[in-house]
C-alpha cells in the first residue's frame, strides 16, 4: 500500500513510459472518483486513496492573484464554462474573475476559509489560468507562485 513518503510509479498514458514520483498524497475526492487513478500531464498513477492533501482545501491561490481569461472560457448554451455573473469584461475577448482585482483579491467562486477548508464553486467550469496554475500541487509539488500565495496566509509551502 502506498503512503506519503513512499515512491509511486507513474505510467504515461500514450507511451507507456514508467516514471516515479516521491511521496504522492492526493485527496480521496480526487482519486476515488476515478477508481484510484489520477491523470497528470499525460501520466496515470495508481494508488490507494490517501488522506486529504492541503492543496485541495487551501485556496490561497484563489485569494492571492488576479485571474484574467479568454472569452472562450465563458459559459455558453453549448459549452459549460465560467458563468457570466462571475466574469468582469476587460476587452472584447478578455475577462477577469470577479473579486480577483481587489486590493485583497478573493475569487467570487471560492467558498470557505482560506487555508482551512475551501472549494471552488465552479471547479469543473473554472477558466484556463486556474486549470494551469501549479499543476502538480495536488501531488504535493508546489511552485514559486503557489508558495507566494500560501505565504500571504501564513501557510507553509507544499513540499514532499
Residue 36 has what pLDDT? 40
Residue 60 has what pLDDT? 94
Please give the model's pTM, rounded to 2 decimal places.
0.65
Residue 35 has what pLDDT? 40
Residue 76 has what pLDDT? 94
Residues of the chain with pLDDT under 50: 1-14, 16, 18-52
Residues 62 and 117 in one domain: yes
- In whole angstroms, give the CA distance from residue 89 to residue 56: 28
Residue 160 has what pLDDT? 53
Residue 134 has what pLDDT? 87
Residue 148 has what pLDDT? 93
Residue 149 lies in a domain: no
Residues 129 and 62 in one domain: yes
- Report the relative pairing of strands 43-46 and 37-40 from DSSP bridges: antiparallel
Q: Work out how many domains the chain is built from and give that number.
A: 2
Domain limits at 70?
58-134
Residue 158 lies in a domain: no
Residues 29 and 72 in one domain: no
- Are the C-beta atoms of residues 152 and 64 closer than 8 Å to each other? yes
Residue 127 has what pLDDT? 97
Q: List, as one string, the DSSP characters of 42-100.
A: TEEEE----PPPTHHHH-GGGGTS--EEEGGGB--SSS--B-GGGEEESSSSEEEETTT
Residue 156 has what pLDDT? 87
Residue 136 has what pLDDT? 83
Residue 12 has what pLDDT? 43
Residue 56 has what pLDDT? 72
Residue 53 has what pLDDT? 53
Secondary structure letter of residue 122 according to DSSP: T
Helix/strand/coil for 108: coil
For residue 18, the cross-strand partners are: 11
Residue 3 lies in a domain: no
Amino acid at each position: 500500500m502506498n503512503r506519503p513518503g513512499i515512491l509511486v510509479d507513474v505510467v504515461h498514458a500514450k507511451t507507456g513510459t514508467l516514471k516515479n514520483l516521491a511521496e504522492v498524497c492526493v485527496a480521496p475526492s480526487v482519486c476515488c472518483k476515478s477508481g484510484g487513478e489520477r491523470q497528470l500531464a499525460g501520466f496515470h498513477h495508481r494508488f490507494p486513496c490517501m488522506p486529504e492533501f492541503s492543496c485541495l482545501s487551501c485556496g490561497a491561490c484563489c485569494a492571492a492573484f488576479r485571474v484574467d481569461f479568454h472569452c472562450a472560457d465563458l459559459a455558453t448554451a453549448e459549452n459549460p464554462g465560467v458563468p457570466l455573473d462571475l466574469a468582469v469584461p476587460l476587452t472584447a475577448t478578455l475577462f477577469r474573475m470577479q473579486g480577483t482585482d481587489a486590493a485583497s483579491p478573493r475569487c467570487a467562486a471560492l467558498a470557505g476559509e482560506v487555508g482551512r477548508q475551501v472549494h471552488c464553486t465552479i471547479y469543473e467550469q473554472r477558466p484556463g489560468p486556474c486549470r494551469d496554475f501549479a499543476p502538480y500541487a495536488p501531488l504535493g509539488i508546489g511552485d514559486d507562485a503557489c508558495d507566494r500565495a500560501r505565504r500571504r496566509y501564513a501557510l507553509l509551502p507544499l513540499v514532499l
